[in-house]
Amino acid sequence: MGKIAGLLIFVLGMLALFPLIGVAQERPRDPLIHGLASFLIPGLGQYLNGETDKALVHFLVAVTIPTVGYYVGILTVNPFLFYITPLAQLGWSLYSAMDAYSVAQAYNEAHGFSLLEFDLKIGG
């Protein structure tokens, strides 16, 4: 578990070091892709939206929840924490996904991208 978390932190850190490609161009963003990405790996959708600081916070909270939850559960021998920790992780993933979705959708509305323009520019 620790090696996987370390690897994910390293990958996210390396992504934050490199400048975002295509930021100067105004292109529509797919809110569903950004939301799904952030649900699977909290912070990834925020990174795709260009919010690197928020992405790092979302990722670190996603790593901290199970680490602290299970550690405290083992120390206190409290079985309740073993049930609540996955629910807290799921809740954080859902919040992160909704945040990435809403930011991508607000970006599209602010820049005047409609659903039809999105399909024409991205899909074909």
pLDDT at 5: 65
Nearest to 85 by CA among 66, 103, 100: 66
Contact in structure between 81 and 72 (CB atoms under 8 Å):
yes
Tokens representing 58 are 């979302």
Let me know: does 103 contact 43? Beta carbons within 8 Å. no
Residue 72 to residues 76, 84, 86, Cα–Cα distance (Å): 6, 12, 14
Q: What is the pLDDT of residue 104?
A: 94
Q: What is the mean pLDDT of each run of 10 residues along the chain (124 residues)?
A: 66 57 67 96 95 96 94 89 93 97 93 65 54
Q: What are phi and psi of 23, to 5 degrees?
A: -70, -35
- What are the domain boundaries of the chain? 2-21+29-123
Predicted local confidence at residue 23, as pLDDT: 47
pTM to 2 decimal places: 0.72
